[in-house]
Amino acid sequence: MNPYEVLGVTKDATQQEIKKAYKKLSLEYHPDRNKDASATEKFKQVAEAFDILGDEKKRKNYDQFGTTKKVVNHDFDHSDLFSRFFNQNQRQQKPSIRVQLEISFEESVLGCKKDVKISRQTQCRTCKGTGAKEFESCKRCDGKGKININQHPWVIQMDCDLCDGSGKDVKISCSDCNGNGNGERKEETLAVNIPAGVENGMTLKLSLEKEVVLLNILVRSHSLLERHGADLYVVVPITYTQAVFGDTIEIPSIGGKINLKVPAGIQSGGKLRLQNMGIKTQFEQGHLYAIVQIETPSELSNEHKALLEKLSKIEKKSNYVNVKSFKDKL
């Protein structure tokens, strides 16, 4: 079975064209309306064809493999598909507009207000988005907007699937928009509040009157700070003497430079926590961690060398606990 041939559409048909073809054929061959002996089988074929082409993944698989065996579930309930289609048709979702917004590290932590430019699809001015130059009464529901579906032993009333409950159908399509109801695209600038604590790759959803804007956040990296959840980390290089005697040094934070007291005798890799100086999210308050890295000088003056040589002669190896433990384990 070729689903495109069954529905009478081309391979480049849009979802709107596929749905329209399915509506027409499913109504034509539905057993409750068509008593012809072959109608039930044709209705099943139409349902199977729409089950493939109405689902983007299944349609892609069919286009790739050229067979329904990889994409069709032969055990599905055709009547259920018929009902599900029309229920979904009444719950149309707003079209989405995807926009990428780049912000700084600080803006992601503290929050900010940004102007975001979007391109929106406007309605055709001539037909006001209906796609019609002239309407006629819907033949499916006789202009009532409602139809009765027989599901023995019940009769279910629902919005007409052909006119979507309007009671009107297109008699003559609008020539200015070729019947699609679309006008020109319009550039617009939105003032968007970016909440504090957003992360790189996060998507914010902005609901407009007729569209949904999906804002993908791209956060520029900081030159020194690194984020892990709500906590911030910074690697702080210090000198040998600062590690031995201790010192007060400046380090970066979200609010600017702050003083950090380095205790005497700290080891390389030592972690110092500055409480509640990380990122405040809806769920937690993070901390700022300073990771100490003792830097060994690559160049020494003669005086510096002489002092270190003298130090090496008088220092006690027992003061180096990790060195002693390592040698004992050899």
- Name the nearest CA neighbour of 54 among 95, 29, 20: 20
- Tell me the CATH number at 276: 2.60.260.20
42-71 in b/e burial notation, b at 16+ Cβ within 10 A? Answer: bbebbbbbbbbbbeeebbebbeeeeebeeb
Total number of domains in the chain: 4
Per residue in 258-286, pLDDT (tens digit) is 999 999 999 999 999 999 999 988 788 99
Instruction: Give mean pLDDT, residues 7-11.
Output: 89
Give a yes or no: residue 179 inside a domain: no
Alpha carbons 325 and 330: distance in angstroms, whole number: 9
Count of CB atoms within 10 A of residue 293's CB?
13
Phi-psi region of 250 (alpha: psi -120 to 50; beta: other; left: phi over 0): beta
Q: How confident is the model at residue 211 (pLDDT cuts 50, 70, 90)?
A: confident
Q: Are residues 104 and 191 in the same domain?
A: yes
Q: Are residues 118 and 212 in the same domain?
A: yes
Q: Are residues 75 and 9 in the same domain?
A: yes
Q: Are residues 30 and 74 in the same domain?
A: yes
Per residue in 135-153, pLDDT (tens digit) is 998 888 888 888 887 666 6
Q: Are residues 231 and 321 in the same domain?
A: yes
Q: Are residues 156 and 190 in the same domain?
A: no
- 66 in Cβ contact with 184 (< 8 Å): no
Q: Are residues 237 and 311 in the same domain?
A: yes
Give a yes or no: residue 278 inside a domain: yes
Q: Are residues 251 and 293 in the same domain?
A: yes
Count of CB atoms within 10 A of residue 1's CB?
12
Per residue in 217-262, pLDDT (tens digit) is 999 999 999 999 899 999 999 999 999 999 999 999 998 999 999 9
Give a yes or no: residue 178 inside a domain: no
138's tokens: 């819907």
Q: Are residues 11 and 99 in the same domain?
A: no
182-194 and 203-207: which strand pairing?
unpaired
Domain region containing 139? 132-173
